[in-house]
Amino acid sequence: MHDNYENINEEGVYKVGSVVPEDGVYACVPCGNKKFLKAGSRFKSCLACFGKERRLFRKGMELWEKIADK
């Protein structure tokens, strides 16, 4: 595991720009889009959210949550 947890809250939700602590499948909290991410990379904005109507996209709600190891 990675020691960089300053961008995680108590529910295990990560902000865009924070470091991915471990390999796994993460889900975008607002839309549910799933993506496999490697440890050490950074969480990026969800492209699926950007593709939706702009009124549905909320800046600051760009959060990721780990849902599986592989």
pLDDT in tens, the chain (70 residues): 444 445 555 568 999 999 999 999 999 988 889 999 999 999 998 888 776 555 555 666 789 999 998 7
Q: The sheet that has 13-15: what strands, in order across it?
A: 13-15, 63-68, 24-28, 34-37
What are the sequence ranges of the domains in the chain?
A: 13-68
pTM of model > 0.85: no
Q: Contact at 8 Å (CB) between 63 and 13?
A: yes
pLDDT of 54 reads 55
Cβ neighbours around 46 below 10 Å, total:
24
Instruction: State how far Cα 32 lies from the chain centre.
Output: 10
Q: Exposed, middle or buried, 2 (CB in 10 Å: 0-12/13-18/19+)?
A: exposed
Question: Rounded to the nearest 5°, which phi and psi values hold at 63?
Answer: -125, 150
